Amino acid sequence: MKILGIETSCDETSVALIKAEKFNFKILSNIVHSQIKVHKKYGGVYPLVAAREHEKNLIPVFEKAITLNDIKNIDFISVTIGPGLAPSLLLGLFFSKLLALYFKKPLIGVNHLQGHIFSPFLNEKEKKPKFSFPYICLIVSGGHTELVLIKDILNYKVLGKTLDDACGEAFDKVARILGEDYPGGPKIEKLAEKYRKQKIYKIKDLEFSPPLINSEDFNFSYSGLKTSVLYKVKKSKVLNEKLKSKIAFHFQESAFLPLVKKTLLASEKFNIKKIFITGGVSANNRLKEMFYENKKSKVEIYFPDKILTQDNAGMIALAGYLKYKKTKKFDSLTNLKISPNLEL
């Protein structure tokens, strides 16, 4: 089967084509247009600005991803219906409905988080997992921080999630406090790395305590940590590069320790040896290193390829294919609606 994927839930416009034979998947194209440059000015994503950008970019991205001849040979279209920003989701859904209508193709609406959950199955560079269940998935992005037990394609148990901000959101806010551009994740990682190269540290020496590290659940919290950084910066007289690096390092370590500890704990508690770490923050090399340093030898950890860590339509096409495999049903063009607060 060939599936066309469309993703517009936040600030990435993406169109992809994948090929799936039973449980072997291959990306034929996966074009992502990021709106970072536009949102940099505002220090975050504004929903109506994002929607306007999707309207501008959907057609050129579509034309880059697929030829009109290819579209005649696809089996169906898979589109993100939520969670995400309503104006952005509406554009992707409407565009998909028009394509479905014009080319007489079936349409299936998928949960964006299912895309992240399956993303490592499309790996071409990073280690590729065998298609099997169960596994534990940590989704860690700008909008989500959730630990989920994946029992089967559409059978999940959410073990815990953030009680306030998402981890990536905290990286973006802390970067702004330090005077860095959006998106903050890569900037913080770079700053932190400069400092880490010079020091060896112990957890007890961290300047900000890792949030909820000892709570007996699988929840996370990032708003208090961000506020601690804000106070620290306000108290310091000068914010030079050296201090920025130090703060970025202490923040990053404290932000990641609960993710690593609780994910590995969940794998032990449920006796599940396969773990996926997905979403925008999973691109962070220090996070990878911390997982590898702390995991037991029998535990297998998988990260998506860099392009698959961010929002992309390849993972949406795959999620649509797997949903169809399980339900054998497509959605009605009239009744399919966006669902901005959709949960797993």
Q: Does 281 contact ligand KG4 by CB under 6 A?
A: yes
Residue 185 partner contact from Zn ion, ligand KG4, none using kind-dependent CB cut-offs of 5 to 8 Å: ligand KG4
Compute the C-alpha angle 270/145/164, nearest 5°. 120
Q: How far is the CB of 32 from ligand KG4 (least distance, A)?
A: 9
Q: Does 311 contact Zn ion by CB under 5 A?
A: yes
Q: Which is nearer to ligand KG4, 36 or 98 (CB)?
A: 36
CA–CA gap between residue 34 and residue 212 (Å, rounded) = 33
Residue 84 partner contact from ligand KG4, Zn ion, none using kind-dependent CB cut-offs of 5 to 8 Å: none
Helix or strand or coil: residue 315? helix
Q: How far is the CB of 336 from ligand KG4 (least distance, A)?
A: 21
CA–CA gap between residue 162 and residue 226 (Å, rounded) = 14
CA–CA gap between residue 108 and residue 77 (Å, rounded) = 6
Q: Give all strands of the β-sheet with 145-152 in edge-to-edge order.
A: 155-161, 145-152, 135-140, 274-278, 300-302
Q: How far is the CB of 81 from Zn ion (least distance, A)?
A: 14
Q: Does 284 contact ligand KG4 by CB under 6 A?
A: yes
Annotate each residue in 308-337 with x if it binds ligand KG4 (CB under 6 A) or - if it does not, as one string.
--xx--------------------------
Q: Cα 293 from chain centroid?
A: 23
Cβ-based burial of 217 (10 A; exposed 0-12, middle 13-18, buried ≥19) = exposed
Q: Which is nearer to Zn ion, 84 or 258 (CB)?
A: 84
Compute the C-alpha angle 83/30/110, nearest 5°. 25
Q: Which is nearer to ligand KG4, 176 or 325 (CB)?
A: 176
DSSP letters for 62-129: HHHH--HHHHHT--EEEEEEESS-HHHHHHHHHHHHHHHHHHT--EEEEEHHHHHHHGGGG-SSSPPP
Q: Which is nearer to ligand KG4, 141 or 228 (CB)?
A: 141
Rounded to a whole number of angstroms, the CA Rg of the chain reads 20
* Number of residues in contact with Zn ion under rule CB under 5 A: 2
Q: Which is nearer to ligand KG4, 40 or 326 (CB)?
A: 40
Q: Does 35 contact ligand KG4 by CB under 6 A?
A: no
Site for ligand KG4 in 170-189 (CB under 6 A): 171-172, 183-186, 189
Q: Which residues of this protein are in contact with ligand KG4, per CB under 6 A?
A: 10, 141-143, 168-169, 171-172, 183-186, 189, 279-281, 283-284, 310-311
